[in-house]
Structures are given as structure tokens and as C-alpha cells.
Amino acid sequence: MMYILEKKNVDQTLSEWSAKYEVYTPQKVEAYSQFLPFTESSELALNEPLNTRYPPKSLFLPQSEVMLKYNKRLNKFDEIKILPEKRIIFGIRPCDASAITLLDTVFDTDEYQDPYWTERRENTILVGLGCSEPPSTCFCTTVGYGPFNQDGLDALMTELDDVYVVEILSDKGQKLFSNFPASSKDQEQSVLNIQLKAKDLMEPAFETENLKQTLDQLFESDYWSEIAESCLGCGICTFLCPTCFCFDIVDEVQRNERIRNWDTCMFRIYSQEASGHNPRPTRAERTRQRLMHKYSYWLDHIDKIGCTGCGRCVRHCPVGLDIRAMLRAASNFEREVVNVG
Amino acid sequence: MSDNGHNPYNPIPMHIVRAYYESNDRSLKTFELVFDHQKDCDQFFSKYNPGQFCQLSIFGKGEAPFGIASAAWEGEFVRFTVQKMGSFTKYIHNLQAGDPIGMRGPLGNGFLLDDWKGKNIVIIGGGCAFSTLYALTKHVHHPKHRPDFEELIVIYGARTSGLCMYKHDIETWYQRNDMQIHQAIDVPEEDWSHHVGYVPDVLKDVAPSPQNAVAVVCGPPIMTKYTLPVLVDLGFAPEDIFTSLEKRMKCGIGKCGRCNIGSKYICKDGPVFSLAELNALPADI
């Protein structure tokens, strides 16, 4: 079943939803776009050629978040009431939605549930917007996803002239759109064509078959120092990455709060031990950790690549390092090593 | 709240009941903690296994991981020995009996006691890393557990006699007829009647048989590095050699990302690994 949301009705629809839900949409912020709460004056940026700069993972794992408030003198703490509101994230791209399902396997395990993550997940509806014209920095099809991938979404919209055609993917999605007009057979056929065409537009960015084995073999090689040579270690590739989830826990003494902040394996202090020893003392080891985590360790954990091909690390690296080129170099480097031997 | 109604990041409220220096240079201090609420106590001991660790929590200072140095049968308290290293451990060292403290745990896998039943246990420790091995030895000592295991051999080295931990208790181990204890210090001292030398050399002298035995090694990296090959030379299989690893940690429950070696998290998949498991991991230590 597919429904029609007319473009001219989007603002009104979001307003109506706002009565019952906190609604987040991509909005213009300076030269970029970012998911922000919808208001009557919001300037929507739904059809920007590029995805939001700031990843919507922040709506589940905020960049900085209070875990508890304490009273040092009484040695007591108050639990934080995490999120009572129901939320809709409208216009999230498939790469970001599938990244959230990857992070579910970290934060929502049988053994330990992270309540800050799971509460927000339970209370949030994800309405996705597929990518009819994926930009050149995107590579979702290479890593096993696609511009209309459905993982994690409750509904998926495809832009078609003056309307969005909405595919329902869950009960939550069905409830949200059940009063909308149904689409015609012609529209559904067009949607199918758009989705296939978008996928065909995307060239494979690197070889993924045996990539894990290649990287595992290169673990102690010079490959890492070569690809990390121009890296500044700024960490922006990890902060903006929708599948990076590392965090630090610190006590904010002046506010009497225990907080967690996004952290990054690209920083020296991340793995610095009290004894002075650091298992990842240079950017080569830290770059290795970043790439190995996504293209080797994730496969060990859930047999999936821990990258959804959103391209943010490619677009926003201040020195233009391109993870796709790094991974192509890995395959070539292995060949060189083998040839020399 | 999550389905099971428990936030794993919340520290469990406890109090210090005993605090005493373990070493004569005051770098090592032992703390025994009791639970403020009986249900937390029951929950802790329903899960606790020697070899596990906890995050100690001080509001305004943060958290840091420490190995548990007590066996469950010793009583409804949890023992930690803390080496003064940085600002957090310096703060802990100033705490006294009666002071409140937070704790999260027990965390990690602990020693594989069920797999070790019916075997000889060779325990090899150095420095303050002996704390979890002390818990293991105490566990094995209990009359209810002792028949589960065959021979018990403990080798424990410290730099000086003043740095030897749990002295009074360990002295009584020499009187036990169900174990061997070999203590060593690095350089000779007056009044020291036990071994003198480094742990790997003492291990060579003691030369425990690998037959039906497991060896557990915890110590500073340099000791572990030279001890593991000695065990291999003695004929211990990599599957029968165990060690406990440490890394910088924050969450302790496999979420925050930082303590991995390859695809294993020290906090969740460890801290106890067999040498066979370690050999299969990349050199990221």
C-alpha cells in the first residue's frame, strides 16, 4: 500500500503532527542543513542535493547528554527522565536510518540495554526520503545498502513531481499515513523506475569482496602510515559518521552532572592509559582502528559492514581524505606486498 | 527505563567499611565496601565470579575500573586494592571507613571456573595485578569449592617485600597442606626467606606440570610478556593459559567503544582471555 503526500501539503501535515509529536526535519543552517524541531517558521531543506552535515544519530545519541545529576555532599543522584514525547523524524535519508539499525546492535543488546538509546528509539517514528539523484560522494550501494534502502524506516517517501509517494514499512508508519489518499498504479510504477534508476546511477566505489581479509592481512603493514600521512587527526570523519558511536563519560563538576560526550578513536587521549602506555600512539594506528572497525570488526560482530556509505567523511574531511580511495589503496597495497614477496 | 527497568550506568550506592594500606610505601591501599541496600548485594553476589571487575564511581571525579579482590564466601563485602596512579586513585586513597562510594558491576567474564573443574590450577601473579588472583585463590580455598579442583600452586612476585599484598593471609598459606605458595621479590632483603628473582625465573624453578592443568597469569605487561613463553616451554597449551587484560575503559559494558583489541571488547568479552584467543587477535595492545 502506498499513499500520496502532496508537496504543497507538507508544511500543514507537519504542523498537524506537531500537535501530537515532536517533529524533526532537515532545515537550512548557514550553508548546510541539519535536523531541527519543526516550527511554523521552519525553512525546510528536504530536497537538498546533499544529506545534512550533522548526522541524525544525534537525536538518539546526542553529542553531549546528561546521564545523571548528582549531589556530591549527600552522595545521591537523580535519574534523568529521558524522553516522554513521541517523535517523528521526517525526511531522514536511508543511509542514516540503516545506520541507526546498526547502532541498535550496540545499544540494545540482551545483556545490557542503554536506556538513553532504547527509550528514544521506542518513541520515534522514522519517515525516510529516498535519494533519486545520489551525489557523487555517496557510495551506499557499494557497502550493501541503497538509495531507497528500507532498514530502520517506518515509511519511505519517493519524490515524484509534485508529490511524495509514501511506502508503508511498519505499523507505526501505517498509523501515521492511513488517512492520506492512496497512490495510483501509474505512480507506483514510476516510483519503482525512479528507485531502480537511482541505484543504477551509483558506480561501485571499491571492492568489498575479501576487503575484510585484505585489511586483516595489512594490520601490521606500512599501509596505515601511508594513508594516514596527511590526516590531521581532527576526528570530523568520526563525529559526523552516522555509525560511529564512541563516547566518553565525564563529571561536569560545576553543573553536578555526569555526562557523556561523543568521543573519537582519532584522538590520542582516547586510548591513553594511566600507566602512560598507549596502544595507538600515532595517527597510523588510530586510522587503522577507524577503518578496521568499520570494515573488519563489524563483520565479526554482525556480519555487516559498519558503514552505510553516506559520504559525510568524504565531503567534510578538511584535507580531502577519501575513505573510498583508502580502501581501493588497501586492495592495491596487498597486491604490491604479494608481488614483492 | 529499559525493559528490565535497570540503568546499567547508575552507580550502586555503597560504603567503605575497612580501608588499610597494603604496601609500606602507601602506594597500594585496600578498601572493603558494603552495599547500602540488601537487594543490590543479593544481585551482585548472584552474578559475581572471580576475575571480574567493577567501575568505582565518585561524583565529581568520575569512574575507573578495578579488579575485585575478594571471594563471595568471605562475606557480604567487595574488596579492591587500588594503586595510586592519577587524580582519581589519589582521591580514592584519601577515603576512609564510613565514606560513601558508588560502584558498577560486577563487569566482564571472570575466570572460567566451570571449565577448570577437576584440573590443577597454577596461579602466577606480579605486583598489584595479583588482586583478582587473590580472589581466585580465596575462592578455591573454600571447603565447598576445594574438591572441585586438584593441585593449587600460587606464584606471586613483587618488587620488594614491602610491596607484597595480603601479607598476613598469604603467610598462613604456607601452613596449608592443600596448596603450594611461592613468593618472590626482585632483589635480596634481610629477613626474606622466600624466593628472590623475577617471576618467569621462579616459574622455571617451580616448573609446574602441564598435565591436566591450567595456568592463570596476571601482572605488569613486562612480566606477562616473559612468563607466557615459559609456560609454553613447560608444555602448557595456549588453550590452557589465561591472562586478564586491561585497557582504558569508560562504560564497562561494551558500548563506549574504546577498550577493543580487534573485534573483542576487553570489558565485555574479557578481561580474561586464553592465550589461544589472544594469539588470534591483532597486535593492538
Residue A297 has its nearest CB partner, among B11, B260, B283, at B260
Residue A115 has its nearest CB partner, among B1, B59, B85, at B1
Q: Between chains, do B251 and A270 touch, taking CB under 8 Å as contact?
A: no
Best residue of B9, B95, B128, B247 to probe chain A, by most A CBs closer than 10 Å = B9
Q: Between chains, do A251 and B8 touch, taking CB under 8 Å as contact?
A: no
Best residue of B61, B248, B265 to probe chain A, by most A CBs closer than 10 Å = B248
Q: Are residues A109 and A250 in the same domain?
A: no
Last residue of one domain, picked from the residues A201, A219, A249:
A201
Chain A nearest-CA distance from B183, in A, is 25
Give contacts of B 101-130 with A, CB under 8 A.
Answer: 102
Chain B nearest-CA distance from A292, in A, is 8
Q: Within 13 A of A276's CA, how many CA atoms are on the CB side?
A: 2
Q: Give how far Cα A210 sits from Cα of A60, A142, A296, A323, B153, Å.
A: 33, 13, 10, 17, 46
DSSP state of B104: E
**Which residue in this structure is represented by grid cell 555503597?**
B14
* One-character DSSP codes across B131-158: HHHHHHHHHHHSTTTGGGS--EEEEEEE
Q: Between chains, do B248 and A272 touch, taking CB under 8 Å as contact?
A: yes
Domains identified in chain B and CATH numbers? 12-107 (2.40.30.10), 113-244 (3.40.50.80)
Determine, yes or no, domain membership for A164: yes
CB-count exposure of residue A11 (10 Å: 0-12, 13-18, 19+):
middle
Give contacts of B 168-227 with A, CB under 8 A.
Answer: 221
- The overall longest dimension of chain B from CA atoms, in Å, is 61
**Which residue in this structure is represented by grid cell 514510476?**
A190
Contact list in A for residue B85 (CB cut-off 8 A) is: 274-275
CB-count exposure of residue A341 (10 Å: 0-12, 13-18, 19+):
exposed
Structural domain boundaries, residue A256: 211-340
Determine, yes or no, domain membership for A206: no
Q: How far apart are CA A307 and CA A241, in angstroms?
A: 8
Residue A297 has its nearest CB partner, among B10, B248, B262, at B262
Q: Are residues A125 and A219 in the same domain?
A: no
Task: Return the SS3 of B253.
Answer: coil
pLDDT at position A336? 67
Task: Return the SS3 of B202.
Answer: helix
pLDDT at position B4? 44
Q: Are residues A319 and A173 in the same domain?
A: no
Q: Are residues A326 and A228 in the same domain?
A: yes
Mean of the per-residue pLDDT values for chain B?
94
Q: Between chains, do A248 and B250 touch, taking CB under 8 Å as contact?
A: yes
Of B156, B230, B168, nearest to B195 by C-alpha is: B156
Q: Are residues A120 and A242 in the same domain?
A: no
Per-residue HEC secondary structure of chain A comes to CEEEEEHHHHHHHHHHHHHHCEEEEEEEECCEEEEEECCCCCCECCCCCCCCCCCHHHHCCCCEEEEEEEECCCCEEEECCCCCCCEEEEEECHHHHHHHHHHHHHHECCCCECHHHHHHHHCEEEEEECCCCCCCCCCCCCCCCCCCCCCCCCEEEEEECCEEEEEECCHHHHHHHCCCCECCHHHHHHHHHHHHHHHHHCCCCCCCCCHHHHHHHCCCCCHHHHHCCCCCCCCHHHHCCCCCCCEEEEEEHHHCEEEEEECCCCCHHHHCCCCCCCCCCCHHHHHHHHHHHHHHHHHHHHCCCCCCCCCHHHHHCCCCCCHHHHHHHHHHHHHHHHHHC
Please count the residue pairs, one from chain A and one from chain B, whose beta carbons lie less than 8 angstroms apart. Answer: 120
Q: Which residue of A has its CA nearest to B246?
A: A273
Best residue of B4, B35, B47, B256 to probe chain A, by most A CBs closer than 10 Å = B256
Q: Are residues A21 and A164 in the same domain?
A: yes
Chain A nearest-CA distance from B239, in A, is 21
Task: Return the SS3 of B5.
Answer: coil
Best residue of A80, A106, A215, A258 to probe chain B, by most B CBs closer than 10 Å = A258
Best residue of A112, A212, A292, A305 to probe chain B, by most B CBs closer than 10 Å = A112
Q: Are residues A166 and A104 in the same domain?
A: yes
What's the pLDDT tens digit per position in B69-104?
999 999 999 999 999 998 999 999 999 999 999 999
Q: Are residues A175 and A222 in the same domain?
A: no
Residue B86 has its nearest CB partner, among A216, A274, A279, at A274
Intervals of chain B under pLDDT 50: 1-4
ipTM score for this prediction: 0.90
Does residue B280 belong to the interface with chain A, where contact is any CB pair within 8 Å? no
CB B119 within 8 A of CB B237: no
Q: How far apart are CA A40 and CA B53, in angstroms?
A: 52
Q: What are phi and psi of B232, to 5 degrees?
A: -60, -45
Q: Between chains, do A263 and B257 touch, taking CB under 8 Å as contact?
A: yes
Q: Which residue of B has its CA nearest to A220?
A: B283
Q: Are residues A45 and A97 in the same domain?
A: yes
Q: How far apart are CA A5 and CA A31, in angstroms?
A: 28
Chain A nearest-CA distance from B108, in A, is 11
Q: How far apart are CA B281 and CA A296, in angstroms?
A: 12
Q: What are phi and psi of B280, to 5 degrees?
A: -85, -10
Q: Between chains, do A71 and B59 touch, taking CB under 8 Å as contact?
A: yes
Determine, yes or no, domain membership for A178: yes
Q: Between chains, do A118 and B13 touch, taking CB under 8 Å as contact?
A: no
Give contacts of B 44-73 with A, CB under 8 A.
Answer: 59-64
pLDDT at position B285? 77
CB B10 within 8 A of CB A79: yes
pLDDT at position A274? 81
Contact list in A for residue B271 (CB cut-off 8 A) is: none
Contact list in A for residue B256 (CB cut-off 8 A) is: 246-249, 260, 263
Determine, yes or no, domain membership for A67: yes
CB A49 within 8 A of CB A41: no
Residue A79 has its nearest CB partner, among B10, B60, B63, at B10
Count of domains forming chain A: 2
Q: Which residue of A has its CA nearest to B5?
A: A115
Q: Are residues A166 and A118 in the same domain?
A: yes
Q: Are residues A179 and A30 in the same domain?
A: yes
Determine, yes or no, domain membership for A171: yes
Last residue of one domain, picked from the residues A168, A201, A234:
A201
Determine, yes or no, domain membership for A60: yes
Q: Are residues A278 and A311 in the same domain?
A: yes
Q: Give how far Cα A340 sits from Cα of A226, A326, A336, A337, B70, Å.
A: 17, 20, 6, 5, 55
Q: What are phi and psi of A135, to 5 degrees?
A: -70, 170
Determine, yes or no, domain membership for A290: yes
Residue B59 has its nearest CB partner, among A112, A251, A289, at A251
Per-residue pLDDT of chain A (341 residues; tens, 9 = 90+): 899 999 999 999 999 999 999 999 999 988 899 999 999 888 899 988 899 999 999 999 999 999 999 998 888 999 887 766 899 999 999 999 999 999 999 999 999 999 999 999 999 999 999 999 999 999 999 999 999 999 999 999 999 999 999 999 999 999 999 999 999 999 999 999 999 999 999 999 999 999 999 999 999 999 999 999 999 999 999 999 999 999 999 999 999 999 999 999 999 999 998 888 899 999 999 999 999 999 999 999 999 999 999 999 999 999 999 999 999 999 888 776 655 54
Determine, yes or no, domain membership for A144: yes
Residue B255 has its nearest CB partner, among A106, A220, A301, at A106
* Other CB atoms within 10 A of residue A1 CB: 11
Last residue of one domain, picked from the residues A175, A201, A227:
A201
Q: How far apart are CA A293 and CA A215, in angstroms?
A: 10
CB B75 within 8 A of CB B131: no
